[in-house]
Structure 1
């Protein structure tokens, strides 16, 4: 009813009564409670339902860990939906987040804040004059520099000889030299599928096709 694991509630009560208790003491004191909470595991009559529930719990816990790691790299949503689309990295992201990820790669694994406004200056030459600037402590490392270097090389290979090779030479510097670029393409079909009772695909029809390309220049500028 509380949407909280019963052992968590028990542990809170136990620590209120025994604030100095260690893990070993709490484990020993919770023996009966742990057996009661997981008693359903020993009811073999409903083995199939039990196994499904265990797999569901493991899947949810796995995606909680994935979400924490994705958030460090700029994933903009509050939770992940456990699904195949999420597992392969094609679930509900935004262009701004993709651009931020490329910025992390270009900045040797350091995540910088996304700024829409550089400064705000109000009430000039009055007693209420206020000048707002971005905070300087909002940059932090989210991946090793070596990992970022490998990713930059991989992105450049996509343009040099991969699925984005048509971009070669599209942009040039003022002196006429080609601008070094990298990027990652992504495509997919939006389909309507008809399934049988057993889950077999009887018919699959593509309605439309989506495509995304996130790219970077040789400088610290990135854009979706």
Structure 2
């Protein structure tokens, strides 16, 4: 199959290699630590191995993604008494602004982040009559918090909100650039968060 793209993730030489279709959907990844190729769709197995062959040294295994162990599921699970429904958009940022002791520049950035999350939260909340359930400030052990989580007819979606008024945003497979700022790994993070949220929920 032509058009598969191999993209690195994590520290150079140590992170995973992801194999994506031309439309950006991941079909497999190669874990350098375990020398294992995890294939999401078996019909792409041969093409995935061919695409990764230049990056693999030594023996390797190929198969479906590993199933989380009971210990993994306990680590990913949300506390049973964690009621997420009352969370307002930007709940954590509100607490930092009200009780934190950050400097002026940091507080200005927090206010920008809060405004962006509140506006996005209002837009997403308007989808509830269409059958969507929207949660804000969802904690995920080991990954921080998801700004907004949508659960509805089309599946589960994680939304990352960043302020960028009148700035051009460039979204790649692994990095996001807003204006002239340094690229951020938000696309990679949100994929990990979405996968973790799917398992936790």
Instruction: From the two aligned structures, give the one with the greater helix fraction.
Output: 1
Q: TM-score range by the shorter chain?
A: under 0.3
**If the length of structure 2 is used for normalisation, what is the TM-score?**
0.23
